[in-house]
Amino acid sequence: MTSGLQAQVWQATVERAKALAAAGRLNAALDMLAPIAQQADAPWQALSVQADLMKRAGRLDDSAALSQRLVAVRPQSVPAWHNLASTLGDLGRAAEAEVACRAAMSIGGDAPETWLVLARALQAQSRFDEAEDAYRQALLRRPGYGDALRDLSQLIWMRDADLETACAPLDAAIAVSPTTPLLRQIKAKLLEYAGQGERAYHTLVAGPLDGPGELAAAQACLTRDPSRALDHANRAAALAGGEVAAIMVTQSECLLALGQAKAALATIEALRAREPLNQHVLAFQATAWRMLGDPRYRDLYDYDAFVRPYRLEAPEGWASLEAYLVDLAKALHDLHTLKTHPVGQSLRGGSQTSASLAQSDDPAIRAFFQAIDKPIRDYMAALGRGDDPLRARNTGDYLIKGSWSVRLRPNGFHADHIHSNGWLSSACHIELPPAVQGEGREGWLRFGAPPGLPSLAVEHYVQPQPGTLVLFPSYMWHGTQPFGGEASRLTLAFDVVPA
C-alpha cells in the first residue's frame, strides 16, 4: 500500500522527469522514472509518462510492455488502450493493434486518431475494404485530418493505380480549405510519386506556403530547377527561425545540384556534428567529398569491403535452397495484392507489402529471419571495429528494423536512395526475370549514383542471383536498373541496426 508521502514523492519525480524530457534529455528522464516503474504499485501516471518517453526514444518494445501493464491497471481508460494500439501498430503487430483499438472503442473511444490507428492496422492485414472505411470514419470525425487523408489517398492509389480517384478525397478537402498548405503538400507528394513532378510543384505553389510548404516546394523542383529550389529552401529556413536538420539537408542538396560542393559541405559538416548517425547526412557528405576529389570519399564508399553478397543456406525443414525459395516466393506473392507502388518509397512500377514481414505466421517467411542470421553475423565479423561511421557502430549484435517485399513489374526499378534510419541495408533476391542474366545489367543492383546529380555516374553493380542476400551500408546510394521482358522481379529486404 502506497503511503500519501510516497505518492507525493513519486508525483514530484514524474514532474521532474517531464521537465528533463521537455529539455531534450530523454535518457535522463527515463533513468529517473525507472525505479518507480519497477514497483508493483507504481502509479499509472508514472507508467504513462515512461511509456510515452520510451516510444519517443525508439524503445518500442519496452513502451508496449509498459502500455500493457497500464491497461491492466486502468482497463477503463480509453487513452491507455489507444496508446497501446498505436505502439503495437508501430511495432508491426497489426492484429494486436486492432484488438487494442476495438477495446478502446468498446468503452467509448471514438477519436479520429483511434480510427486512424485501426485503419492502419487493418491495412497491414491486407483488409483493404475495412481499412478504407476506417479512414473515412476518421475523416467524418475530422474532415481535414491530414494523416487520414494521406493514408486514404495512398491506399486508393496502391489498390487501383488510378491517380484521379486517389486525389479525389484530397481535392474535396482542398476545395473546402484552399489556403491550407498541408493539404496541397499531401496531394503534391502523391502526384510526384505517380510521375507528375511538374504538376506536383504547381499544386504546391497554387496557394500560400508555410515553412514546411516551402521545403516541400524545394524538394519538388530540385531536379528540374535547383536554383529555384534553393530559394524555396532558404525561405523555409527563414520561416523556421532556427536551424532545422531537414531544411539544412535540402539546402545542401540544392547546393550540390548547383555544383557548389564546398558551400554544401560547410552545412553538411555542421549537421554531422549534431547528428553523427544520420545516414542521409552521411550520404551527402560522401557526395560532396566525391565532387571535390577528397580521398575520404573512398573510406565511406569502399565497395569491395562494404558491399557483400551471401548465398543463403536452406533453413531447417527444407531439403534445398531451391525448394525453400519456391515456398518463400509463393508466400510473398500471396501478400502482393496491391497494384502499384506506395508514396515515399523508392520503387517505381511494382508493389510493396504493407505489413512487417517479421510478424508473419507463414513458415517460409518466418524461416527467412533464421536464414539471414548467419550472413548478418558474418558481415559484422568481416567488418570489424574501427573509427569510421560504419565500423564504429558494430557491436557484434543486431536488430531487424523493418522488413518488406517488393515485386517489380517489367520496366520497373528502384530510384536511387538511401535508408535514413538504418545501419546496414539489404536486398535478398527471391525470384528473378530472365533479363537479369543478360549482358545489359537489366535488373541489377547499382550503387553510387546520387539522385539529381547526373554528372556522378553509377560506380558499382551487383548482379542478382536467386537466394543471394546483399548487405551494404544504409548511407550508400543504391537503386536498380530497369528490366524488360514479361516476368516480375521479387525481392525481400530489411534494415539492420546495432543491438
Band of the pLDDT at 289, cuts 50, 70, 90? very high
pLDDT at 18: 84
> Which ranges of 275-312 does DSSP label H, i.e. alpha helix?
279-292, 296-300, 303-306
- For 60-99, the pLDDT digits (tens) are 999 999 999 999 989 999 999 999 999 999 998 999 999 9
Band of the pLDDT at 312, cuts 50, 70, 90? very high
**Is the distance from CB of 437 to CB of 363 less than 8 angstroms?**
no
User: Using H for helix, E for strand and C for coil, what is the string for 42-111?
Assistant: CCHHHHHHHHHHHHHCCCHHHHHHHHHHHHHHCCCCHHHHHHHHHHHHHCCCHHHHHHHHHHHHHCCCCC
**Is the distance from CB of 134 to CB of 115 less than 8 angstroms?**
yes
Q: Domain extents for the chain?
A: 307-498
**Is the distance from CB of 496 to CB of 424 less than 8 angstroms?**
yes
Secondary structure letter of residue 393 according to DSSP:
G
315 vs 370: CA distance, rounded Å: 7
Nearest to 166 by CA among 193, 137, 142: 193
pLDDT value at 443 more than 90: yes
30 vs 36: CA distance, rounded Å: 10
Three-state secondary-structure class, residue 322: helix
404 vs 409: CA distance, rounded Å: 16
404-420 average pLDDT score = 96
CB atoms within 10 A of CB 334: 11
345-367 average pLDDT score = 92
pLDDT value at 171 more than 50: yes
Residue found by looking up cell 510492455 in the block: 65
Band of the pLDDT at 15, cuts 50, 70, 90? confident
Report which of residues 36 and 97 the model is more confident about: 97
437 vs 449: CA distance, rounded Å: 22
Stretch (H or E) spanning 426: strand 424-431
Q: Give, in degrees to the nearest 5, the angle at Cα 65 between 62 and 121.
A: 100
134 vs 105: CA distance, rounded Å: 12
Band of the pLDDT at 1, cuts 50, 70, 90? very low
pLDDT value at 179 more than 50: yes
Secondary structure letter of residue 477 according to DSSP:
-
Order of strands, sheet of 347-352, starting from the edge strand that comes earlier in the sequence = 308-311, 468-473, 424-431, 489-498, 398-414, 347-352
Band of the pLDDT at 403, cuts 50, 70, 90? very high
Amino acid identity, position 275: E
Band of the pLDDT at 26, cuts 50, 70, 90? confident
pLDDT at 351: 96
Please identify, in words, the CATH class of the domain defined by 307-498: mainly beta
222-232 average pLDDT score = 96
